Amino acid sequence: MTPATDQPRRSGTLYVVATPIGNLEDITLRALRIFKDVALIASEDTRHTRKLLTHYDIHTRLVSYFKGQEARKAEGIIAALLDGQDVALVSDAGTPAIADPGTILVQKAREHGISVVPVPGPSALAAAISIAGFEGPVLFAGFLPAKASQRRALFESLASQHLLFYEAPHRVIATLTDCLAVLGDRRIFLGRELTKLHEESLVGGLGEILADLSGRPAVKGEFVVLIEGGGKPAPAVDVVVEKLRRHREQGDSLKSAVAEVMAELKLPRSAVYHQALHIWGKTGRAT
């Protein structure tokens, strides 16, 4: 009789699972089943994910997998997968590997021949596009660069595209100010805290919405912004700033300088006014 040969161990499956971006009822039935079936859940923030699991009485083991330590953390998760254990990958909210950790783990899993399966569901990207009312293709840019010069260069190079991006509350006003200066007063959609208790959706002119945010006592929440594409970019922000500074050096008032630059560059008042506020050292909303 021929002796039995050892069969190679089957690798586990890596499930990339979307979780609610706010409302816990947005979780899918499939995601809940997978959370119960897998050996462990790799989470961007285990404290955050544990709240979701507790809500649905799920007690699967959690391991952390977060930005900055992705390569190191991936080693243990890959070892578990190669040992035949199924793993679910989740981020704090939405779909992993879309402006959230996950890409490195997915790459390493594929390098080892491990099956990677998407479990789609909530996404701030899809949620924003679905209610913005903009026709045509949308270019997704994730989180924009922190440096103003890099943001302005990106806006200028993508002026013809519908551009969607995520932004943090402490930087959203500066980003929209750069966008207004580079692209002019275009129509935008701004979503704040989508699906959460204080959800807000605004559609209108960029200058109008920027003035609204600038006039608030505090700007809180996570933002999704969709900028209408088309047409040529406005004159470079550096040109606007240089002309305003020249007027101030000549002793002109903020009001007269704004009027002069508006007329010369054929820009809407809001695109010039917000730059002038910084140059004249003032704060407040446009009037």
Same domain? 251 vs 212: no
Q: Is residue 268 part of a domain?
A: yes
Same domain? 159 vs 216: yes
| Strand arrangement, sheet containing 200-205 | 138-143, 162-167, 223-227, 187-192, 200-205
Distance (Å, rounded) from C-alpha 270 to C-alpha 184?
9
Residue 272 to residues 176, 180, 227, 269: CA-CA distances in angstroms? 13, 9, 19, 5
Q: In degrees to the nearest 10, what's the CA dihedral of 211, 217, 222, 225?
A: 0
pLDDT of the residue at 285: 42
Closest CA to 202 of 217, 213, 218: 213
Same domain? 176 vs 255: no
- Side chain identity at residue 71, one-letter code: A
Q: In degrees to the nearest 10, what's the CA dihedral of 237, 239, 244, 249?
A: 130
Same domain? 20 vs 117: yes
Same domain? 32 vs 115: yes
Q: Is residue 262 part of a domain?
A: yes
Structural domain range at position 79: 13-122
Give the domain-ending residue among 122, 143, 174.
122
Question: How many CB atoms sit inside 10 A of residue 17's CB?
Answer: 27
List the beta strands (DSSP E) in the chain. Answer: 13-17, 40-43, 61-64, 87-90, 115-119, 138-143, 162-167, 187-192, 200-205, 223-227
Distance (Å, rounded) from C-alpha 36 to C-alpha 203?
40
Q: Is residue 53 part of a domain?
A: yes
Q: Is residue 4 part of a domain?
A: no
Q: Is residue 6 part of a domain?
A: no
pLDDT of the residue at 239: 75
Same domain? 144 vs 110: no
The first and second tokens of residue 226, run together, are 């969709």
Give the number of domains in the chain: 3
Give the domain-ending residue among 122, 151, 174.
122
- Burial of residue 203 (number of CB atoms within 10 Å: 0-12, 13-18, 19+): middle
Q: Using an 8 Å Cβ cutoff, are 211 and 285 in contact?
A: yes
pLDDT profile of the chain (287 residues), mean per 10? 58 97 96 98 96 97 92 95 98 92 95 97 95 94 93 91 96 93 90 96 93 93 94 67 87 88 74 82 55
pLDDT of the residue at 262: 80
